[in-house]
Structure 1
Amino acid sequence: MVPCGCWTTCLARPQTVSDEQILEAALRCFLEHGPSVATEVIAQQLNVSPQALLKRFGTKQDLMVAALKPQTLASSIPQLSTGPDERPLEIQLTELLTDVAVFFVEMARRMSVLRWSHAECRQLMHEHDEPPPLLDIRTLAGWFDRASHRGLVRQVDFHAVSMMLLSAVHGPAMLTDLLGKHPTGHSTADYVRILVDTILNGLEVHGDKVAGSKI
């Protein structure tokens, strides 16, 4: 039986584990080995029996879906719901889109495993009160709206802007997962810099440079 590579030694663990610990171990193993990974491999990481995992989550498929299901940007990037702060907007947007790029690479890997397992990905989206992609658009639009109220960017349709930006980051993440490299040949840092340059120049206030931007 092959253990997950993220664990180099088998450490003693308590017999009682939380759902969060189970999902973290399952996530690592499904991403590393794919949907065919044995339940025994996951259980070994937690020092529990496979039966204990299935008693908690039902079936291996249920465990996989719980571990890999789509997440929201706000749950992974707290500043998206609280910012922008007092730093230059260019710096903040660069940090934000870099984190979004990392998030989408992770989500692309998760969705790839789910599709490989023939899970109903569309149904997973509708298990939420608001599908994660729509919530992500609304959350990013709120970030830009707060920036507008502070006079940092001009008022436009921020839902449309957010859709364009998230699509511009999500698309390369999906293609990178398929191709093994960024489709434009840029590094993530350079690609994000181009996006930030483009969006901030498009949102200039009355033709002046956006406050705090070096562009």
Structure 2
Amino acid sequence: MARPRTIPDERLLEAAREVFLEQGFSATTAAIARRAEVSEGTLFKRFTTKEDLFEAAMGLHDYARWREDLLTQVGQGEVRRNLERAALAHIAEARQLLPHLTTVFARGYSPEHNPMLERLDSPLRHVTDAVALYLREETALGRVRPHDTEVAALSIVGAIGQFIHREHLLPPEPGREAVDAGRFVRGLFDLLWPGLKP
């Protein structure tokens, strides 16, 4: 009979999160095991690879739930409001994930040099694909004007990405007031919605 686990997964993940945030993805599993006060063998019994451990510790398995939520809204409610809610959820999620993703990208942007980029399979592509799919479905229902859904999705996701970058990654500009997420999203769809509404 196997011995019961005496170290909860959350303790291992907390230690891994701390070490990855301090040292980046190059942190060793030995350092993580020391922080968690377990053997490396214990880590690998629960997480097959360092990449698996990183994904679990950083919460990347839970990334982009808003995409699924948006797709469940096809044919329901107001399209503009659905898109606005999705945009706000994307921004809120980015605020939580940016410190974690920064540790991934700190090693470079090439999959050959950073296996995590390959495993994440380009999150921005998935974000754009989800928005484009939502718009295609709503267009088919006549709730959105026929248009190039790929271009519209790239426009929405690109604007959100620029907002996230400017407001959360760049230092504040002296004398410039930050734009809050609600104002940004309302303004974005004030511009885009006239081209999308049926």
Q: TM-score if structure 2 supplies the norm length?
A: 0.70
Residues 1:166 and 2:157 are matched in the alignment: yes
Tell me the SS of whatever aligns to 1:126: helix
- Per the TM alignment, residue 120 of structure 1 is displaced from its structure 2 partner at its CA by 5.8
| Structure 2 Cα separation of the partners of residues 202 and 22 of structure 1 | 50
1:199 corresponding residue in structure 2:
192
| Structure 2 Cα separation of the partners of residues 174 and 198 of structure 1 | 20
- Per the TM alignment, residue 22 of structure 1 is displaced from its structure 2 partner at its CA by 6.4
Higher helix share: 2
| Structure 2 Cα separation of the partners of residues 99 and 177 of structure 1 | 15
Tell me the SS of whatever aligns to 1:151: coil
1:10 corresponding residue in structure 2:
none
Tell me the SS of whatever aligns to 2:76: coil
Tell me the SS of whatever aligns to 1:78: helix
How many residues end up aligned between the 2 structures?
185
1:127 corresponding residue in structure 2:
119
CA displacement 1:17-72 (0-9 Å, x = unmatched): 45xx467535753576453695258626xxxx253225544776773366448668
- Per the TM alignment, residue 73 of structure 1 is displaced from its structure 2 partner at its CA by 6.1
Change (3 A) 1:80 1:137: same
1:29 corresponding residue in structure 2:
18
Residues 1:15 and 2:6 are matched in the alignment: yes
1:31-46 map, 5 Å: 33=22, 35=24, 38-39=31-32, 43=36
- Per the TM alignment, residue 155 of structure 1 is displaced from its structure 2 partner at its CA by 1.1
- Per the TM alignment, residue 195 of structure 1 is displaced from its structure 2 partner at its CA by 1.2
Q: Which letter maps to 1:153?
A: V
2:80 corresponding residue in structure 1:
90
Residues 1:105 and 2:95 are matched in the alignment: yes
2:127 corresponding residue in structure 1:
136
- Per the TM alignment, residue 162 of structure 1 is displaced from its structure 2 partner at its CA by 0.7
| Structure 2 Cα separation of the partners of residues 197 and 171 of structure 1 | 17
Structure 1 stretches lacking a partner, 5+ long:
1-13, 206-215
- Per the TM alignment, residue 132 of structure 1 is displaced from its structure 2 partner at its CA by 2.9
Contact 2:12 2:43 in 1 (8 A): no
Tell me the SS of whatever aligns to 2:169: helix
Tell me the SS of whatever aligns to 2:178: coil
Change (3 A) 1:85 1:26: farther
More deviation in 106-115 or 135-144? 106-115
Root-mean-square deviation (CA, aligned residues, Å) is 3.7
- Per the TM alignment, residue 188 of structure 1 is displaced from its structure 2 partner at its CA by 0.6
Identity of aligned pairs, percent? 18
Change (3 A) 1:67 1:187: same
Contact 1:90 1:200 in 2 (8 A): yes
Change (3 A) 1:173 1:59: same
Q: TM-score if structure 1 supplies the norm length?
A: 0.65
- Per the TM alignment, residue 184 of structure 1 is displaced from its structure 2 partner at its CA by 7.2
| Structure 1 Cα separation of the partners of residues 161 and 62 of structure 2 | 13
Change (3 A) 1:32 1:73: closer
Contact 1:26 1:64 in 2 (8 A): no
